[in-house]
Amino acid sequence: MSDIKKYIAEFIGTCVLVTVACGVAVVTGCGVSNPAAYLMTALAFGLVIVAMAYSIGNVSGCHINPAVSLAMLISKKMNVKDFVCYVAAQILGAIVGAVLVGLLCGSFVNGSIHFGQFGQNAAQDTLIAAYGNGGALAVSLVVEIVLTFVFVIAILGVTSKTDNKAVTGIVIGLSLTLVHLLGIGLTGTSVNPARSIGPALMALVKEGNTAAIEQIWIFILGPMAGGALAAVVYNLLDGKKKDDNQLNELNK
Crossing angle of the two packed helices 80-104 and 2-16, in degrees rounded to 10: 40
pLDDT of 203 reads 93
Q: Who's near 33: CB < 8 A, 6+ residues apart?
A: none
pLDDT of 241 reads 58
Residue 33 has pLDDT above 80, yes or no: yes
**What count of Cα atoms within 13 Å lies in the side-chain half-sphere of residue 57?**
18
First vs last C-alpha separation in the chain: 48
CA distance linking residue 65 with residue 43, whole number of Å: 18
pLDDT of 209 reads 87
User: DSSP E strands: which ranges in 14-65?
Assistant: none
Residue 233 has pLDDT above 90, yes or no: yes
What would the mean pLDDT of 27-55 be, rounded to a whole number? 94
**Please, which pLDDT band fits residue 250 given cuts at 50, 70 and 90?**
very low
Domain that holds residue 194: 2-251
- The closest of 121, 220, 138 to 130, measured between CA atoms, is 138
pLDDT of 245 reads 54
Contact between residue 224 and residue 66 where contact means Cβ atoms under 8 Å apart: yes
Global confidence as pTM: 0.92
What would the mean pLDDT of 196-211 be, rounded to a whole number? 92
pLDDT of 107 reads 79
* DSSP 3-state of 188: coil
pLDDT of 247 reads 43
Q: What is the pLDDT of residues 171-182, one digit of tens each?
A: 999 999 999 999
Neighbour-count burial for 143-161, b at 16+ CB within 10 Å, e otherwise: bbbbbbbbbbbbbbbbbee
**Please, which pLDDT band fits residue 32 given cuts at 50, 70 and 90?**
confident
CA distance linking residue 37 with residue 21, whole number of Å: 12
Please give the tally of structural domains in the chain.
1
What would the mean pLDDT of 222-234 be, rounded to a whole number? 98
CA distance linking residue 139 with residue 184, whole number of Å: 14
Residue 246 has pLDDT above 60, yes or no: no
Report the amino acid identity of residue 250.
L
DSSP state of 20: I
| Higher pLDDT, residue 161 or 186 | 186
Which of 129-133, 172-176, 216-220, 221-225 is predicted least confidently?
129-133
The DSSP element (H or E) to which 32 belongs, if any, is none
Q: What is the pLDDT of residues 71-106, one digit of tens each?
A: 999 999 999 999 999 999 999 999 999 999 999 998
Look over the chain and give the mean of its residue pLDDT values, rounded to a whole number: 92
| Higher pLDDT, residue 166 or 111 | 166
**Please, which pLDDT band fits residue 62 given cuts at 50, 70 and 90?**
very high
CATH number reported for the structural domain that contains residue 230 in this entry: 1.20.1080.10
pLDDT of 1 reads 63
Neighbour-count burial for 13-38, b at 16+ CB within 10 Å, e otherwise: bbbbbbbbbbbbbbbbebbeeeeebb
Q: Who's near 81: CB < 8 A, 6+ residues apart?
A: none
